[in-house]
Amino acid sequence: MASTKSAYSFEVNKRANKTQIKDAVEKIYNVKVRKVRTANHKGKYRRKGRTFGTTSSWKKAVVFLKPDYHIDLF
């Protein structure tokens, strides 16, 4: 079971796959990734005056690191 301290979420490109996300995180943050989970989020309907539209769709990636690694955010 993954501990919550080793899970980080990112907004990624919609066309990126899990392998590309893993390689990018390992290269940028100099850590070892254990697994990656992804989810596509649809845009929500919004109204402004008489017009209707949608917000942009986006992709979320949750990256789980190996036990000895962490990312310093602050």
Report domain extents, the chain: 4-65
The lowest-confidence range among 3-7, 22-26, 42-46, 61-65 is 3-7
What is the value of pTM for the model shown? 0.83
The CATH number of the structural domain formed by 4-65 is 3.30.70.330
Which DSSP string corresponds to the chain? Answer: ---GGGEEEEEE-TT--HHHHHHHHHHHH---EEEEEEEEEPPPEEEETTEEEEPPPEEEEEEEEPTT------
| Residue 37 confidence class, pLDDT cut points 50, 70, 90 | very high
Average pLDDT, the chain: 92
